[in-house]
């Protein structure tokens, strides 16, 4: 165990600004604030030492302070080298919560930061809960600190890619803890991944490039939840949007939603803007880069930077790279200039401010409920991946209705019986797809 470092952020003087923005965010995060009112007084997370590894943004600050208000001790790192909002990190550090995160860190610093979150306080108490986004913290504990596993009650995972890793581990017999898949709460993936990206993708491209989007041809690779929101974001800005897919169902959905579905080889020649949203690897590779038009903008909104073959690009054309501003680089390939955003890392957090608070309140209410469930029910869960019960999913949605002025009808007994549910929910079967 390393010596105690109380926090490490870019500039603690940014704390006041961060605090003001946290206050504004709280007003847009009714789910988290309701959970504070419901559970704040009884402190059901008392004794929990939660290590979190999730984009250190203003919205995440509201999550962290919710967990703290419910009684937990919390340490934090960011799950991406570019996603920290330095004023948010400063405000959390100033509030006395150990946070290790700044925008624009190296890979080595990234690992150092995660490592700092494993042990709490001067007396170096080990973590007993994991809250992860993408699985890097989980992997560090499982692979490098296996002696800590027996003291940990469980983990909750935020994103599609991290959840994928957990199911792989379950299949291989290397999942050593009960895990809650937060991503597949309906009020997470069908909201954050979709409506979040609908707002934050175009925001990122605009902040990075100031490009006129109307009239441009854009391609979105992958028409899952993130792809659906991303395609709509670009269409809303006036782009003509192409979609690539490997799944016939999602390809057909894209076609029925009015997008042209093409191969990446075709899109490579036609598009001005490239966005990868697959959670898969090598979506844009050398042969696509070579076909691109001059001044094409290339970015990724999936979790990892391997959707775009950055390794190939940097090995072969790294010498031509010039920085226009932080997180905006230009490469020259066969006489054409190609603009790459956020070094191929998730663009909405690298070049903009991530998703807005309101939609993150849905995601983080699920995170909070997952932590409560795992912490308060030791022995209830095996070393498997679970999703939260539908009733809690519906509760999260319900907590967000008033804020958008939505009013619910209620059923009478006859109606409820007619469709085979109870008046209080759950209102749908487990296999309903929304
Ligand atoms: P998803 O599984 O719903 O969608 C991915 C889609 O990509 C699928 O429809 C799949 O068929 C398609 N696909 C896979 N390989 C492909 C290929 N070679 N070419 C074309 N399409 C291909 O996953 P979801 O939830 O949309 O997440 C995508 C990624 O975005 C994940 O890495 C996830 O962790 C990340 N994510 C990022 C967010 C952000 O704010 N930047 C928010 C939420 C998720």
Answer yes or no: are the C-beta atoms of 205 and 409 closer than 8 Å.
no
Distances (CA, A) of 87 to 15, 133, 149, 200: 6, 21, 33, 19
What's the whole-number mean pLDDT along residues 60-79?
98
Question: DSSP assignment, residue 410?
Answer: -
Question: DSSP assignment, residue 237?
Answer: T
Q: Going by CA atoms, what residue is nearest to atom 18 of ligand 1?
A: 283
Question: DSSP assignment, residue 11?
Answer: -
What pLDDT is recorded for position 362? 98
Which residues contact residue 24 at a Cβ distance below 8 angstroms, ignoring those fewer than 6 apart? Answer: 357
* Token pair listed for 302: 């999936």
| pLDDT above 70 as % of the chain | 100
Residue 303 has pLDDT above 90, yes or no: yes
What pLDDT is recorded for position 375? 98
Which residues contact residue 346 at a Cβ distance below 8 angstroms, ignoring those fewer than 6 apart? Answer: 80, 83, 300, 301, 302, 303
Answer yes or no: are the C-beta atoms of 59 and 360 closer than 8 Å.
yes
Q: Going by CA atoms, what residue is nearest to atom 41 of ligand 1?
A: 301
What pLDDT is recorded for position 37? 98
pLDDT digits 0-9 by tens, 306-357:
999 999 999 999 999 999 999 999 999 999 999 999 999 999 999 999 999 9
280 is in an annotated binding site: yes
| pLDDT above 90 as % of the chain | 99
Residue 1 has pLDDT above 90, yes or no: no
pLDDT digits 0-9 by tens, 210-258:
999 999 999 999 999 999 999 999 999 999 999 999 999 999 999 999 9
Answer yes or no: are the C-beta atoms of 313 and 288 closer than 8 Å.
no
224 is in an annotated binding site: yes
What pLDDT is recorded for position 231? 99
Residue 174 has pLDDT above 90, yes or no: yes
Cα end-to-end span (Å), the chain: 46
Facing residues of 306 across strands?
none
Residue 2 has pLDDT above 90, yes or no: no
222 is in an annotated binding site: yes
* Token pair listed for 164: 């994928």
Q: What is the ipTM of this complex?
A: 0.99
pLDDT digits 0-9 by tens, 112-122:
999 999 999 99
Average pLDDT over the chain, rounded to whole? 98
What pLDDT is recorded for position 16? 98
pLDDT digits 0-9 by tens, 390-425:
999 999 999 999 999 999 999 999 999 999 999 999
What pLDDT is recorded for position 219? 99
d(CA 170, CA 73): 28
For the CA of 279, the closest atom of ligand 1 is: 32
* Token pair listed for 141: 């504990």
DSSP codes, 21-77: HHHHHHHT-HHHHHHHHHHTTT-TTTT-EEEEES---HHHHHHHHHHHHTT-EEEEE
d(CA 194, CA 134): 18
Q: Is any atom of ligand 1 closer than 6 Å to the C-beta of 220?
A: no
- Rg over alpha carbons for the chain, rounded to the nearest Å, is 22
Which of the listed residues 278, 355, 359 should we mutate to test ligand 1's pocket, taking the one with most ligand atoms within 8 A of CB?
A: 278
Residue 251 CA to ligand 1 centre (angstroms): 13
Question: Please, is 315 exposed, middle or buried when counting C-beta atoms within 10 Å of its C-beta (0-12, 13-18, 19+)?
Answer: exposed
d(CA 54, CA 159): 10
């Amino acid at each position: 165990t390393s010596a105690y470092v109380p926090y490490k952020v870019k500039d603690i003087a940014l704390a006041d600004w961060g605090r003001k923005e946290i206050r504004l965010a709280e007003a847009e995060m009714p789910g988290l604030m309701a959970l504070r009112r419901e559970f704040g007084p009884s402190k059901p997370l008392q004794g929990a030492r939660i290590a979190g590894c999730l984009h250190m943004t203003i919205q995440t600050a509201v999550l962290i302070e919710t967990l703290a208000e419910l009684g937990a001790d919390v340490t934090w790192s960011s799950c991406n080298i570019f996603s920290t909002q330095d004023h948010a990190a400063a405000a959390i550090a100033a509030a006395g919560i150990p946070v290790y995160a700044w925008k624009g860190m190296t890979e080595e610093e990234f690992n150092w930061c995660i490592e700092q979150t494993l042990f709490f306080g001067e007396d170096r108490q080990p973590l007993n809960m994991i809250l992860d986004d993408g699985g890097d913290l989980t992997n560090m504990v499982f692979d490098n600190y296996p002696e800590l596993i027996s003291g940990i009650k469980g983990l909750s995972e935020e994103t599609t890619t991290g959840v994928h890793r957990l199911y792989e581990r379950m299949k291989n017999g290397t999942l050593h803890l009960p895990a809650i898949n937060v991503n597949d709460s309906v009020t997470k993936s069908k909201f954050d991944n979709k409506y979040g990206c609908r707002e934050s993708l175009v925001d990122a491209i605009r902040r990075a490039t100031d490009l006129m989007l109307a009239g441009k041809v854009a391609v979105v690779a992958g028409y899952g939840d993130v792809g659906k929101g991303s395609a709509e974001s670009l269409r809303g800005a006036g782009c003509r949007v192409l979609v690539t897919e490997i799944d016939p169902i999602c390809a057909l959905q894209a076609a029925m939603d009015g997008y042209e579905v093409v191969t990446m080889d075709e899109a490579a020649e036609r598009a001005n803007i490239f966005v990868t949203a697959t959670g898969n690897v090598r979506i844009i590779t050398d042969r696509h880069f070579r076909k691109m038009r001059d001044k094409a903008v290339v970015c990724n909104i999936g979790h990892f930077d391997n959707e775009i073959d950055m390794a190939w690009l940097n090995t072969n054309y790294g010498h031509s790279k010039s920085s226009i501003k932080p997180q905006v680089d230009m490469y020259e390939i066969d006489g054409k200039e190609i603009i790459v955003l956020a070094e191929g890392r998730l663009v909405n957090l690298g070049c903009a401010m991530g998703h807005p608070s309101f939609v993150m309140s849905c995601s983080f209410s699920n995170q909070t409920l997952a932590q409560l469930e795992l912490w308060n029910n030791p022995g209830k869960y095996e070393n498997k991946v679970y999703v939260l019960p539908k009733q809690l999913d519906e509760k999260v949605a319900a907590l967000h209705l008033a804020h958008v002025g939505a009013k619910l009808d209620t059923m009478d007994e006859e109606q409820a019986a007619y469709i085979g549910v109870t008046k209080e929910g759950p209102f749908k079967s487990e296999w309903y797809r929304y």
